[in-house]
Structure 1
Amino acid sequence: MGNVLQTGEKPRVGIATKALALYFFLVPLDFVPLLGGSVSKLLAAIPFLGLVMEYREIKFSTSKEIGLLIAYFLYCAITMLFSQDMTDSISKLITLFLNIALIVVITGFRRREAEVAFLEKAMVYSGWLTLILLLVFARFEYNRIWLSIGGEQQDPNYLCGYFIFAIAFYIKKFIFEHKKSAIVCLLIFLTVILMTGSRGGSLSLVAVVLFSAILWLYRTKKTWKESVRLILILAVIAAAIVYILTLLPVEVTQRFSFEYIEKDKGAGRFDIWNNLIEQFKCFSFPRQLFGTGLGTIFLFSNKVAHNLWIEMLVETGWIGLGLLTIVYLAFLLRAFKEKADVMLIALMGYITMTFSLSLTSYKPVWNVFMMIIIFFHRYREEERK
């Protein structure tokens, strides 16, 4: 792999990388029904097939983040001994295993910087694919736009998550690199997210913009002109949000008002969170420490927790919640140290979403984890073999 860099030839993009890029690109289809199941399992096979075709070039690497993921999985496996619903625990543990196994295997293949850039573009194009699918298969309910394919529909909140990486990419292009065309792309995604009426998705969008601004202030040399420019950018984005909201139906815009949020209690989330926390307080000390087992949240709520952290607190206890927090912090720190800014910004957006959604097996989050490790393991241009 290093010979290409030495000769000055244009670095090639290997089959394994192309296969992984295809997987990233098609991830928005993972909810589509197929032969009694979903496309998800079929998609996961694509990067594995690519690796098989380039097996001679696989060189397994390790990292602290991989170790933490494995430790988290082993802990969750151990808590099954105390599970209150073994069937659901096994099902959720298998899903967790598949997500982590995919990361461990895929990131063991070191890639050139050009290949990492290729993968990053695939994740950006995935956002555009989601937009195209939404235009073709749009369904409106209470004037909110939904994606519905083959009788299955994607929840608007989860739908917004497929735009986050692309938004992170374009906001970096606009703020850091002064690419004026990027603002057009940003406004397109911003409009669609507001059309979904998703408050969690909209909040994650705001988080991405604000964190990008903070990161820019940290990364760059600041002059008064640049600072004024940043303020103007934030003002333009804020004005665009307000203007777009004035164009949308009242059923959608009212969802963003404080009065409406207070009235519907965050679509019932406030009551769910309070109820789960109160029940957790009544657990015995061992239960509070180790939880009730993966997948057992339905024993305490007729719905999911709509909050990753509360769900993991109930299911895996304080220890599991602590491990998961360390995992997220480790990936944030790795992305920050490696200056993988698009991935760092995107992960901050997804973390914001975790406070209103139970993103335990949400593919875009796991894909960002994967990309951060791939970025860390990449061959730098100066490397020689």
Structure 2
Amino acid sequence: MSGIWQDNFSSVAKNNRPSPIREMLAVIKQPGMISFAGGMPAPEVFPVDQFYEGAHILKDQGKELLQYGTTEGYPPLKDFLAAWTAPRLGRKAGPEEMLITTGSQQALDLFAWSMIDKGDYVITEDPSYLAALTVFFNHGGSFLGVPTDRNGMQVDLLPGIIEKARSEGKKIKFIYTIVNFHNPGGSTMSVERRKKLVEISKQYNIPIFEDDPYGYVRYEGDHLPSIFSFHDQGGVIYAGSFSKILSPGTRVGWVTGPKEIIRNLTVFKQGTDLCSSTITQALVAEYCVNGHLDRHLPVIIDNYRVKRDAMEKSFEKHLTPLGVTWVKPEGGFFYWLKFPTVNTNDLFKKAIDKKVAFVPGDPFCPTAGAGIHNARLCYTFPSPEIIEEGVKRLAEAVTELAIPAVH
């Protein structure tokens, strides 16, 4: 690289962390590759016709929509979301308690701008959402990982972790959690643990970022109350997204929380992109207000449930005999597998040779080396037939790696 650039990069740029999933896209796109790697919605369930119905709004309100919009977001969309999320949040949020973002990823970035100074600590599940770890790290954050099980973050461990960290002079700024159908873990935090987490938040004066992009994609059981709904002191910020329930191409997310933190995020957004696309927000609002979102969710859920069940069946057939274990997700996009006999970084290379891709577990884990026997697999994009073939190939790779061929 030219020295004129390298010599003048910021310290953040010199030490930033790229996304392993984005970096492996070239490999995944090889001809004949079966990919369980990216968290891709199924294109066959995109509601193209229903979304297109709203295009008339460009003709009707084009002069306003083609102008700059407010940083806070398109008011009709905020009005819809305030009412639509009220049952989950326990109340209807006011306009000053919500910000529309360019995808929920931007909400994470704006929150990091608002909260993290270099050297601060963030508590996360271990494993956690890769892109959240990346953005917090790139803002100078360090991590305290909390192990998970099928009921989510093991909240009982938190007091000990917090007190030990504080005794060592570490400053903890917030707790980041994905409560429903965790990415990558697949688990859902129990109601008991949600309530306990709120009590710990209040006891130690540490706010919570509740990330819920998958919560409405539930295949069985009842929706659980949000952490936001339990916190009576305004200590939770809740983020949602249209990426998994409509389409990622809309790049529309939202975040709800107390006025003071929403105001802070809004100021940082002013300096980031001025406002999210008003045209896209208006199209999404039109789609939602016309009732299409509520009618479409069952279509998504039925499609993905079939694929989840197909992957579960394929795992039982091909991977259970090899000692591989996992948590069956009640919704969402992902399985988190444990391969006790192999390093999944090595398994990835072997699997690519067999034209099947997944994401090795290590980058998801804030604790170094914690994920070397794990892998994340997404089931929403491929068909059940392709899932079966892909899992079969993966099992072959595991077998060959665990029992090397004799020459």
Whether TM-score is above 0.5 comes out as: no
Which one has a larger percent strand, Structure 1 or Structure 2?
Answer: 2
Which one has a larger percent helix, Structure 1 or Structure 2?
Answer: 1
